[in-house]
């Protein structure tokens, strides 16, 4: 099975996407986007505000409550050159701890215009409540195509407050424009809570308080997990076959209560809101499988080929049992929150263990996100995308949405 998956050709997951179909800006009202619904073999078109009525009555929606940070710090040198320091992830501590730091912290960063940063400190001034502050950056060693950067500042502010005021929200490169003031609000979900992402879980951008209220009125359950979306989510598959592509690593945060609720929802359809929620839920399953045979695992790490090795025996564990193994592992360690990481690749041939439906956007051609969708609905993705192109749907992060209930 693994060899068959690795031989998949990425060109088979291509489609023509005219530039004018990429949504450069969001709609004024989040829940008025179009919604394409694939239920079984039936395809229909709706508005996103109709989502609650399209879901199974006993469904549970699982959201990713990560919050996009203002990850782009634009330092201007005396020469006029602009150096962009793009904060990817903390270098030596978890995300929550890093954002709580009040004098100094170290991050792994991309550096734009790096050749202009010969040596020394960079300084950036910013204002909070009419008071001016300064953050300084020192470039350290290279890590792959990124750099370790030390940040220092004064004033008793947390790094979360600093980056919120000094930084710029990062928009996907395919939008082809700079962030504007309105993006600070529109490129966040209304339920964003935990700082840490450099890209939004965009399926959630369609939800409004009105839609969330309608879900509650219908008795549809909701659960909030956290996966911090990394810059690698925009990384195209540039190799001819999937086997040559290396998946990016993303950070997962799940509480013991999350696991208790998922266990309590046994037998109900779990509908993931966004591909990041899919990756979180399915990665949790595979960590539970690891613990089933090796209960002394020191941490959660799921590699990209994990489900495809010896799949016949390891993948037979019921999801509720996998979640129970994680909960027991956390309780033995006195943990209320699990901080893990996943590199999971979900592609055609993958059998979903947890997720039974998906709310998502329309994704880039030849992307791992499109592979994930194809793993859920098979070749019907072609029919859905063809319909969307023929019926003036808007594509990518600020575009329209889909509901897949295979």
Whether residue 173 is contained in a domain is answered as no
One domain, residues 258 and 361 = yes
Strand 34-39 versus strand 401-405 pairing type? parallel
Whether the pLDDT of residue 315 is over 80: the answer is no
Question: For residue 75, what are the β-bridge partners?
Answer: 83
Whether residue 300 is contained in a domain is answered as yes
Parent domain of 154: 70-168
One domain, residues 137 and 275 = no
Burial class (CB in 10 A: 0-12, 13-18, 19+), 372: buried
- pLDDT for the residue 204: 98
> Do residues 388 and 166 touch, judged by C-beta distance below 8 A?
no
Q: With bands split at pLDDT 50, 70 and 90, how would you rate the model's confidence at 75?
A: very high
One domain, residues 103 and 20 = no
Whether residue 236 is contained in a domain is answered as yes
Structure tokens at 348: 């055609």
Q: Which runs of consecutive H residues, i.e. helices, occur in 47-118? A: 51-54, 95-100
Structure tokens at 110: 């991309």
Whether residue 13 is contained in a domain is answered as yes
One domain, residues 273 and 132 = no
One domain, residues 332 and 214 = yes
One domain, residues 15 and 123 = no
- pLDDT for the residue 267: 92
Query: What pTM, to 2 d.p., does this model score?
Result: 0.93
Instruction: Please state, as a whole number, how many other Cβ atoms lie within 10 Å of the Cβ of residue 405.
Output: 20
Question: For residue 403, what are the β-bridge partners?
Answer: 37, 359
One domain, residues 133 and 227 = no
Half-sphere exposure of 288 (CA within 13 A, CB side): 24
Number of domains in the chain: 2
One domain, residues 161 and 220 = no
One domain, residues 193 and 88 = no
Strand 357-361 versus strand 401-405 pairing type? antiparallel
One domain, residues 367 and 400 = yes
One domain, residues 252 and 131 = no
Q: With bands split at pLDDT 50, 70 and 90, how would you rate the model's confidence at 238?
A: confident
List, for residues 113-171, the tens digit of each pLDDT value. Answer: 999 998 889 999 999 999 999 999 999 999 988 999 999 998 999 999 999 999 999 99
For 262, residues 6+ apart whose C-beta sits below 8 A from its C-beta are 223, 270, 281, 319, 320, 323
Which helix or strand (DSSP H or E) is residue 105 part of?
Answer: strand 104-112
> Do residues 81 and 98 touch, judged by C-beta distance below 8 A?
no
**How far is 191 from 122, CA to CA, in rounded Å?**
35
One domain, residues 9 and 81 = no
């Amino acid at each position: 099975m693994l060899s068959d998956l690795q031989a998949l050709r990425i060109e088979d997951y291509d489609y023509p996407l005219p530039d004018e179909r990429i949504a450069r800006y969001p709609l004024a009202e989040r829940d008025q986007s179009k919604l394409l619904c694939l239920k079984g073999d039936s395809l229909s078109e709706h508005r996103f505000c109709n989502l609650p009525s399209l879901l199974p009555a006993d469904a549970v929606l699982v959201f990713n409550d990560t919050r996009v940070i203002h990850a782009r710090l634009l330092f201007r040198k005396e020469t006029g050159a602009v150096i962009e320091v793009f904060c990817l992830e903390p270098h030596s501590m978890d995300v929550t701890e890093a954002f709580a730091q009040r004098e100094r912290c170290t991050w792994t960063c991309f550096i734009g215009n790096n050749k202009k940063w010969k040596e020394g400190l960079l300084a950036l001034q910013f204002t909070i409540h009419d008071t001016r502050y300064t953050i300084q950056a020192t470039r350290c060693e290279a890590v792959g195509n990124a750099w370790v950067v030390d940040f220092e500042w004064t004033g008793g502010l947390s790094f979360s407050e600093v980056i919120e005021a000094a930084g710029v929200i990062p928009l996907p490169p395919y939008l082809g424009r700079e962030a504007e003031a309105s993006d600070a609000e529109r490129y966040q979900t209304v339920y964003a809570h935990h700082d840490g992402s450099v890209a939004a879980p965009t399926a959630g951008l369609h939800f409004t308080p009105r839609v969330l209220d309608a879900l509650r009125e219908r008795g549809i359950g909701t659960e909030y997990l956290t996966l911090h979306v990394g810059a690698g989510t925009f990384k195209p598959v540039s190799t001819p076959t999937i086997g040559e592509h290396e998946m990016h690593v993303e950070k997962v945060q799940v509480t013991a209560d999350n696991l208790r609720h998922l266990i309590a929802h046994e037998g109900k359809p779990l509908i993931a809101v966004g591909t990041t929620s899919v990756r979180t839920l399915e990665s949790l399953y595979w960590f539970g499988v690891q613990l089933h045979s090796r209960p002394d695992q020191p941490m959660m790490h799921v590699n990209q080929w994990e489900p495809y090795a010896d799949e016949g025996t390891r993948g037979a564990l019921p999801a509720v049992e996998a979640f129970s193994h994680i909960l027991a592992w956390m309780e033995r360690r006195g943990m209320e929150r699990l901080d893990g990481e996943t590199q999971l690749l979900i592609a055609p041939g993958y059998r979903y263990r947890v997720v039974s439906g998906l709310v998502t956007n329309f994704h880039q051609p030849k992307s791992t996100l499109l592979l994930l969708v194809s793993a859920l609905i098979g070749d019907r993705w072609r029919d859905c995308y063809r319909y969307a192109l023929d019926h003036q749907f808007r594509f990518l992060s600020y575009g329209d949405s889909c509901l897949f209930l295979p």
